[in-house]
Structure 1
Amino acid sequence: MRATLPVRAAVAVLAVLLTAVGCSGGGQTAPPGGKADVRVLLDWFPNPDHVGLYTANDRGMFTAANLNVTLTPPSNPADPLKLVAAEQVELGISYEPDVLMAAEQDLPVTAVAALVPTALNSLMSVNTSPVRTPADLAGKTVGTAGLPSDDVYLKQITAKHGVDLNSVNKVNVSSNLVAAMLSGQVDATIGAYRNIEGVQLTDAGKAPTIVPVTDAGVPEYDELVVVANRDRLRDDPGYRDAVKRFIGALGQGVSAAQADPKSAAESMRKVATGFEPATIDRMVEATTPLLTNPRGFGRMDPAKWQAFADWLHASGMAKEKIDAGPLVTNDYVPAG
């Protein structure tokens, strides 16, 4: 995903966080039920996709679960998987496709809850761009956040709409998706979300063209997931317990945000800098319905994960077949 703030800010914050708390180095977490420090590396700068996290934090739900939770933006959207795998943070927020593709890197990560259980990623352009439909991408420049899944979506969109992928100039703009569109550096982006950048650009009078990637032939998937270290889940009872308590409190935060979006927007205004307050309100209003999970908060469908993994292999984005089994579990989400 997507934001407009300088990456340097996230680098500085992450450096301070890891210096202050140190890294786990494979050490044991506090005993089950004990006070536990849980460092969570976000997928992006704080924005309303994280409304459940910040509502839970603001309302003391993590504290009530005897957790000291620190929420930090990454220096790069690919960092959460790497730092969770390296045991430098306890949990990360990432994306289903990227968790699946992490299997090729042998990263010991597992999705333990779906935070946003529906796809949000879109092909997006502003009203001054020559790209009004996916077919217009031929010969144009597309900005991405640099995630492996961005390549998957660009390949799918161009194939479906008869565009030669080699004619498209792909540029990694990292977190500067909106700025790249507004400046004309790129003609369109992949990585922007309809409920965040779509709202931001609409409020700015840019009448964005938004094509959800799932309308371009990408199967449905869980956009944002909470990711834990698979080895620590296996070996560390205190870590398993802390993860379960965290997911339970996060579920309470999501429910609270959906029940009272106005109060949830107030929590987001404290951290989602760079947006007008009224725009944050509209983003939260657009986001909270998307957090509803028909299977129950946090739950994922392993069969659908496997189907998506098979699609990645069939599309050529994964060199080897992916076994989704070790990469997704519902063992830590609330029952019922």
Structure 2
Amino acid sequence: MLDWYPGPQHAALLVAYHKGIYRRLGLEVTLSTPADPALPARLLAAGRIELAVSRQPLLHLLAGRGLPLVRVGTLVDLPLGGLLVRNGGDTEAPFSLAGKRIGYSTEEARELLLPTLLRPHGVGVHELELVDINFGAVNEVVEQSLDAIMTPQRLTLPRQLGDEGVGTRLLRLEEHGIPPHEGLILLANRDRIGGQRETLRRVLEALTEATAWLLEEPDAAWQLLQEQEPALDTPANRDAWLPMLLRLSARPAALDLGNYQRFEEYLVAQGLAEHPTPAEKLALDLGAP
């Protein structure tokens, strides 16, 4: 299950499907879109699906609550989240957001990212008016006159809002104290890994092949997606296509375990986790013996 509507960030998954790479490797893969961005990880934890696309901060949050989730692959190496602030207001920095109406669409935005972004400036989440916008970012910003939005779609949402006459400026999370992290990851159910290792390795092999072709043939890849996923062909996605390719993980199976350990240590230091979840429980290298 994807984490969002199909977009450039899902390019490796989509190309592997439409080029028949999964099928050639003996895999039967179905890609689905959730009705709510909170659903994929929870359905995975409940054993209702076998893989979920997610984001590293959400994994830390849910694993800390005891959900049996583990990263098995990386689709996008770099952060994709950010705080988009509407132009024309007085919110020049995070500390001036007190009293403002802030939209969010993901659980980790509300529980982790906004608190850690604001805390160094002495602002608490309780001082904001938070609005759950689900998938409706553009409509909600326009209709509810939100002052800012915490989004996992910082490469596409500014253009989407701009096309509706709403100018924004971007605060990149990693430039405001939040550690660098992987923007898009593939999760499995840790309790079910035992019987899935070989299948998951083939999934990652398919994604590696698809990513290599994407990086070698970006124009042909975009043409393929235009033909097979017509809804993906929007001005915002066209603008984001090449910048997203620069962020794709060329080795989806490769694991930087220290990255997960550092993010956990940061959460503990910020008082957002009582004890760090061991990095080995958060992320798995399926290529290891």
Q: Do the aligned partners of residues 90 and 155 (structure 1) sit closer, same or farther apart at CA in structure 2, a change above 3 Å counting?
A: same
* Aligned pair partner of 2:222 in 265, 279, 282: 265
Partner of 1:283: 240
Partner of 1:24: none
* Aligned pair partner of 1:256 in 213, 218, 233: 213
Match status 1:188 vs 2:188: no
Displacement, 1:49? 0.7
Distance across 1 between alignment mates of 2:230 and 2:111: 28
Q: Do the aligned partners of residues 161 and 266 (structure 1) sit closer, same or farther apart at CA in structure 2, a change above 3 Å counting?
A: farther
Distance across 1 between alignment mates of 2:150 and 2:32: 24
Match status 1:125 vs 2:82: no
Report if the CA contact (8 A) 2:82-2:152 is conserved: yes
Q: Do the aligned partners of residues 272 and 182 (structure 1) sit closer, same or farther apart at CA in structure 2, a change above 3 Å counting?
A: farther
Partner of 1:115: 75
Show the 5 A alignment for 1:284-299. 284-292=241-249, 296-299=251-254
* Aligned pair partner of 2:35 in 65, 69, 75: 75
Displacement, 1:182? 2.4
Question: 1:60 is matched by which residue type in structure 2?
Answer: G
Question: 2:86 is matched by which residue type in structure 1?
Answer: V
Distance across 1 between alignment mates of 2:102 and 2:133: 9
Q: Do the aligned partners of residues 208 and 265 (structure 1) sit closer, same or farther apart at CA in structure 2, a change above 3 Å counting?
A: farther
Distance across 2 between alignment mates of 1:132 and 1:265: 36
* Aligned pair partner of 2:158 in 198, 217, 220: 198
Distance across 2 between alignment mates of 1:260 and 1:204: 32
Q: Secondary structure at the match of 1:77?
A: coil
Displacement, 1:164? 4.2
Question: 1:300 is matched by which residue type in structure 2?
Answer: L
Show the 5 A alignment for 1:128-277. 130-202=90-162, 206-234=166-194, 236=195, 239-269=196-226, 270-271=228-229, 273=231, 277=234
Normalization by structure 2: what TM-score?
A: 0.90
Distance across 2 between alignment mates of 1:200 and 1:158: 26
Displacement, 1:319? 3.3
Distance across 2 between alignment mates of 1:254 and 1:323: 30
Distance across 1 between alignment mates of 2:46 and 2:249: 32
* Aligned pair partner of 1:309 in 264, 267, 277: 264
Gap runs ≥5 in structure 2: none
Partner of 1:20: none
Report if the CA contact (8 A) 2:44-2:50 is conserved: yes
Question: 1:306 is matched by which residue type in structure 2?
Answer: Q
Match status 1:324 vs 2:279: yes
Displacement, 1:120? 1.4
Match status 1:45 vs 2:5: yes
Report if the CA contact (8 A) 1:122-1:210 is conserved: yes
Match status 1:62 vs 2:22: yes
Report if the CA contact (8 A) 1:47-1:268 is conserved: no
Normalization by structure 1: what TM-score?
A: 0.79
Question: 2:210 is matched by which residue type in structure 1?
Answer: G
Q: Do the aligned partners of residues 230 and 81 (structure 1) sit closer, same or farther apart at CA in structure 2, a change above 3 Å counting?
A: same
Q: Secondary structure at the match of 1:115?
A: strand
Displacement, 1:135? 3.1
More moved, 45-54 vs 80-89: 80-89
Distance across 1 between alignment mates of 2:248 and 2:162: 22
Distance across 2 between alignment mates of 1:157 and 1:241: 40
Distance across 1 between alignment mates of 2:41 and 2:2: 10
Question: 1:67 is matched by which residue type in structure 2?
Answer: L
Show the 5 A alignment for 1:17-28. none
Q: Do the aligned partners of residues 309 and 76 (structure 1) sit closer, same or farther apart at CA in structure 2, a change above 3 Å counting?
A: same
